[in-house]
Structure 1
Amino acid sequence: MEVSGAGCWVLGLLMLIRIIVSSAACPCSDPALCEPIRDTRDFEVYVFYTRGSNWKNYDWTQVTTVALFGKYDPELMCFAHSKGARLVLKGAVKLEDIVDPEQRSAWVTQQVNLAKSQYMDGINLDIEETVLQHTKEYRALTALVQETTEAFHREIPGSQVTFDVAWSPNCIDLRCYNYTGIADLCDFLFVMSYDERSQIWTECECIAGANAALNATITGYMQFINLNIDPKKLVMGVPWYGYDYTCLQLSETNQCKIEKRPFRGAECSDAVGRQVPYRVIMKQVNSSMTGRLWDDVQKSPYYNYKDSKGQIHQVWYDDPESIALKAAYIRTFALRGIGMWNGDLLDYSNDTIAQQQTKDMWKALIPRPLSRSGVQDDF
Structure 2
Amino acid sequence: MDFANFEVGIISNKLFILTTLLKFVSHSKLQLCDLEDRDKPYSPAKVNFTFTIAYTMLKPPESTSPSPSTPPRGIKGGYWPSWRAEKFPPSAISTSYFTHLFYAFVVPDANSYQLLITQTEDKLMKSFTATLHAKTPRAKAFVSIGGGTASPHTLSNMASNPDSRAAFINSSVSVARRYGFDGLDLDWEFPHTPQDMSNLSLLFKEWREAIENESSISGKPQLFLSAAVYFASNFFLSNIPRAYPVEAISKYVDFVSPMCYDYHGSWDTSVTGEHALLYDKASNISTGYGISSWIKAGIPPKKLVMGLPLYGRTWQLKSPSENGIGAPAVGTGPGNNGVMKYIDIVDFNETKAEGVVFDEQTVSMYSYAGTDWIGYDGPASIEKKVEFAKAQGLGGYFFWAVGYDKDFTLSKTASDAWDEEI
State the TM-score, normalized to the length of structure 2: 0.65
Equivalent residues of 1:324, 1:365 under 8 A apart: no
Shift of 1:200: 8.9
Equivalent residues of 2:191, 2:197 under 8 A apart: no
Count of residue correspondences: 303
2:83 is aligned with 1:48? no
Q: Deviations over 1:78-120 (max 9, x none)?
A: 2322343221112225212331211111111111111121121
Q: Deviations over 1:144-193 (max 9, x none)?
A: 12222222343242311101112222316648332413421211101111
2:144 is matched with which residue?
90
2:198 is aligned with 1:139? yes
Instruction: Return the match for 2:258 from 167, 183, 191.
Output: 191
2:130 is matched with which residue?
78
Equivalent residues of 1:208, 1:245 under 8 A apart: yes
| Structure 2 letter corresponding to 1:146 | K
| Structure 2 letter corresponding to 1:346 | D
Shifted more, 285-294 versus 238-247: the winner is 285-294
2:372 is matched with which residue?
313
| Aligned sequence identity (%) | 21
* Structure-1 separation of matches of 2:140 and 2:394: 19
Structure-to-structure mapping, 1:186-225, within 5 angstroms: 186-197=253-264, 206-215=270-279, 216-225=286-295
Q: Deviations over 1:327-353 (max 9, x none)?
A: 001221111111100111124xxxxxx
Instruction: Return the match for 2:243 from 147, 165, 177.
Output: 177
| Structure 2 letter corresponding to 1:47 | G
Q: Deviations over 1:2-44 (max 9, x none)?
A: xxxxxxxxxxxxxxxxxxxxxxxxxxxxxxxxxxxxxxx9311
2:400 is aligned with 1:341? yes
**Structure index of larger Rg:** 2
Q: Deviations over 1:289-330 (max 9, x none)?
A: 413123232221111234xxxxx2211111111111000012
| Structure 2 letter corresponding to 1:151 | A
Instruction: Return the match for 1:300 from 342, 364, 368.
Output: 364
CA RMSD of aligned residues (A): 3.0
2:211 is matched with which residue?
152
Shift of 1:242: 0.4
Equivalent residues of 2:315, 2:330 under 8 A apart: no
Q: Deviations over 1:120-162 (max 9, x none)?
A: 12211000125232x2x22212211222222234324231110
Three-state SS of the structure 1 residue aligned to 2:222 is: coil
| Structure 2 letter corresponding to 1:158 | Q
Shifted more, 192-201 versus 276-285: the winner is 192-201
| Structure 2 letter corresponding to 1:345 | Y
1:363 is matched with which residue?
413
* Structure-1 separation of matches of 2:294 and 2:266: 19
Instruction: Return the match for 2:176 from 115, 119, 142.
Output: 115
* Structure-2 separation of matches of 1:364 and 1:195: 20
1:234 is matched with which residue?
304
Instruction: Return the match for 1:280 from 340, 344, 350.
Output: 344
Equivalent residues of 1:328, 1:369 under 8 A apart: no
* Structure-2 separation of matches of 1:80 and 1:369: 21
Equivalent residues of 2:266, 2:338 under 8 A apart: no
* Structure-1 separation of matches of 2:138 and 2:419: 27
* Structure-2 separation of matches of 1:168 and 1:366: 27
1:35 is matched with which residue?
none
Equivalent residues of 2:303, 2:395 under 8 A apart: yes
Instruction: Return the match for 1:246 from 309, 316, 337.
Output: 316
Shift of 1:368: 5.5
2:303 is aligned with 1:258? no
Q: 1:43 to 1:273 in 2, by over 3 A?
A: same
Shift of 1:228: 1.9
Q: Deviations over 1:247-299 (max 9, x none)?
A: 244553534323599xxxxxxxxxx9621111111111222241312323222
* Structure-2 separation of matches of 1:298 and 1:206: 20
Q: Deviations over 1:43-76 (max 9, x none)?
A: 1111111132443233313422111115434233
* Structure-1 separation of matches of 2:288 and 2:223: 29
Structure 2 unmatched runs, 5+ = 1-71, 106-120, 147-153, 216-220, 280-285
Three-state SS of the structure 2 residue aligned to 1:256 is: coil
* Structure-1 separation of matches of 2:329 and 2:158: 37
| Structure 1 letter corresponding to 2:246 | T
Equivalent residues of 1:187, 1:233 under 8 A apart: yes
Equivalent residues of 1:331, 1:367 under 8 A apart: no
* Structure-1 separation of matches of 2:289 and 2:352: 32
Equivalent residues of 1:218, 1:326 under 8 A apart: no
State the TM-score, normalized to the length of structure 1: 0.72
